């Protein structure tokens, strides 16, 4: 494992739900919506979009990169009313275990198939977290 990959693992280790992070070259804060030992799914408000519309990036500590998933058609859909649920679904799909075909509580587009995704290697960038801010009750 390269030194950059080891550093990335250390940066991702211990990320907490709702913790905020900043990446090199980006002044905006990203909020952790789901995380495990290998990946973190983080979101921020999309520029020039209504409140609640977010953009996301996947932090891949094993490869030391971040980027979108490789779904055709623009990536993963985040439900504005359930950001954590959408992020958890993406985390399960990254692990290869997103099978919600029989869950009636999910919208049709989220239960219609079994998903397996990866981080897009074509559109990923090196992972450099420059700042971390602990979760706060008033932030979501």
Higher per-residue pLDDT: 81 or 91? 91
Residue 69 falls within a domain, yes or no?
yes
Residue 31 falls within a domain, yes or no?
yes
pLDDT of 1: 47
What distances in angstroms separate CA 120 from CA 14, 17, 125, one per listed residue? Answer: 24, 23, 10
Residue 27 falls within a domain, yes or no?
yes
Residue 83 falls within a domain, yes or no?
yes
How many structural domains are present in the chain? 1
What is the pTM assigned to this prediction?
0.75
Residue 25 falls within a domain, yes or no?
yes
Residue 139 falls within a domain, yes or no?
no
Residue 74 neighbours by CB under 8 Å, 6+ apart? none
| pLDDT tens, residue by residue, 18-36 | 999 999 989 999 999 998 8
Residue 140 falls within a domain, yes or no?
no
3-class secondary-structure state, position 123? coil
Domain hosting 120: range is: 3-132
Residue 138 falls within a domain, yes or no?
no
- How confident is the model over 100-104, as a mean pLDDT? 59
Q: Is the dihedral of CA 18, 107, 94, 30 positive or negative?
A: negative
| pLDDT tens, residue by residue, 125-136 | 888 888 889 887
């Amino acid at each position: 494992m390269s030194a950059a990959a080891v550093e990335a693992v250390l940066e991702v280790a211990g990320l907490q739900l709702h913790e905020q992070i900043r990446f090199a070259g980006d002044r905006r804060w990203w909020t952790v919506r789901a995380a495990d030992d290998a990946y973190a799914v983080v979101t921020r408000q999309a520029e020039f979009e209504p409140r609640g519309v977010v953009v996301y990036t996947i932090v891949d500590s094993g490869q030391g990169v971040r980027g979108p998933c490789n779904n055709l058609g623009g990536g993963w859909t985040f439900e504005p009313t359930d950001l954590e649920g959408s992020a958890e679904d993406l985390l399960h799909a990254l692990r290869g275990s997103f099978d919600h075909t029989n869950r009636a509580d999910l919208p049709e587009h989220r239960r219609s198939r079994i998903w397996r995704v990866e981080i897009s290697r074509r559109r990923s960038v090196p992972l450099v977290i420059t700042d971390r801010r602990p979760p706060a009750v008033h932030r979501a």
